[in-house]
A = this chain, B = another copy of it.
Amino acid sequence: MSSLDRSHDPARSSWVVSARAHADFPIQNLPFASLKQEGLRGGLAVAIGDDVLDLSMAIAAGWGHGLGEPVRTALAATQLNALASRPADEWREVRLALSDALSDPAWADRLRPALKPARSVTFQLPFHIHDYTDFYASLHHATNVGAMFRPDNPLLPNYKWVPIGYHGRSSSIVVSDVPVRRPQGQVKAPDADAPTFGASRSLDYELELGLFLGGRNALGEPVTAARASSRIFGFCLLNDWSARDVQSWEYQPLGPFLAKNFATTISPWVVTTDALAPFHVAPPPRPSGDPLPLPYLQVPDDWTLAIELEVLLATAAMRGRGDAPARVSQVDFATAMYWTPSQLVTHHGSNGCNLSPGDLFGTGTISGPTPDSRGCLLERTRRGSEPWVLPDGETRRFLEDGDRVIMRAHARHAGAVSIGFGDCTGVVLAAS
């Protein structure tokens, strides 16, 4: 999966001038999204610099003849499920054909009409997401949160053996920029006799990566560790909005439910596994004394990703003044995670659960060891006890109405051209 080809060549550059030295979308990236089009069913696009290339228009302009009819049909679809249903080597052929055309000036005149400024388009979900699973794969996050919810028992005995996950709600996944309404819910203060129902007072974000799956395994046919990597089509940013007061009262014994299923935001762009090949790094060694993974979770040639993520916040006051968003935290993916992407896929499929194209996995909140690398406010402010002070003097324990949360991520590695994920944002609306 990690073999490099000319699409990864750091010397390659695009005739789309804005793509040169673009922070997120140089020609070495080429992530996919789905455009929403007024009165039309929408269609797939690829990011190149400040523009997006409409794939249906590109095909109509003659691009993609070498790809074969099934792939061209998949690229003319509204969302990515059909492409992700094709064999993984066809995903790479599409990427290579895009890279070749967007770097070859001979294609410029034909493809320029299929380019649109990214600022002029709106996005919809890149996949029809049938099933959504959220994991809990950052040891620092699990330890920090565990200490707050279970002071006497922060890290449960299964954590270092089982890649803990749970099923989430698909219907409430929205694409970046869709406002998120503060939920109402049932909450109970520790010293109260009875719970009450009302607007959550501890709304939070969770910084995660999302994995989109490709390919299929039939129900009852386990996914093996050797096959897991080939099942990951690509990655996005994911904000697992959480109402902490609802969560702490409802989550036992069956896990989070209404505290999280009111909204999950993902970035519009799917950065392909192939585009991330130059950013593969070996998983960090497990802390001394930790057990080896059981054999079924030992992934041959396993990898994780050299990705740096950050969360920024822009309050209503800041936005009113036109201030730039303030960074809340920044974290390194590879060292924050206890389980690798392929281990999450292997574990989920180990019982024969049928994983399908467009299934979405969240990694769980990505938190590092230091306060400024914690991926949610619950951890960043220690459950509100240490409010975070913004540059303008405002403070935050949890999110307030009008706050805009912005997540960003960039893959960076020696010898490779850095690529980014685009923004994953959402503004908090007052409760209904």
Contacts and interface: CB of A to CB of B under 8 A. Distances in A.
A279 B164 CA distance: 42
Given A197-B296, A222-B432, A295-B197, A354 B158 contact: no
Contact of A263 (B167, B219, B359): B219
A119 to B, nearest CB: 25
A356 interface: yes
A103 interface: no
B185 A351 contact: yes
Contacts of A256: 254-255
A42 to B, nearest CB: 19
Which interface class (under 10, 10 to 19, 20 to 34, 35 or more) fits A? 35 or more
A245 B130 CA distance: 28
Nearest to A136: B254
Given A197-B294, A353-B261, A253 B149 contact: yes
A172 B262 CA distance: 24
A136 B243 CA distance: 21
A302 interface: no
Given A169-B167, A170-B131, A255 B258 contact: no
A181 interface: yes
A181 B130 contact: no
Nearest to A359: B171
A158 to B, nearest CB: 6
A353 B171 contact: yes
Interface in A228-278: 243, 246, 249-258, 261-263
Closest 9 A-B residue pairs measured CB to CB? A255-B255, A183-B351, A181-B220, A167-B167, A166-B254, A254-B255, A258-B351, A262-B351, A261-B353
